[in-house]
Amino acid sequence: MFGAFGAHALRGRLDENALSIWRTAVDFQFWHALALLAIAGFTPSDDRHWSRACGIMIAGTLVFCASLYALALGAPSWIGVVTPLGGVLLVTGWVVAGVAFWCSASSK
- Count how many domains the chain has: 1
Sign of CA dihedral 94, 47, 59, 16: positive
Q: pLDDT tens across 64-106, in order?
A: 999 999 999 999 999 999 999 999 999 999 999 999 888 877 7
pTM attached to this predicted model = 0.85
Tell me what pLDDT residue 37 has. 94
Phi, psi of 23 (to 5 degrees): -60, -40
Half-sphere exposure of 38 (CA within 13 A, CB side): 10
Q: For residue 12, give its domain range.
A: 2-106
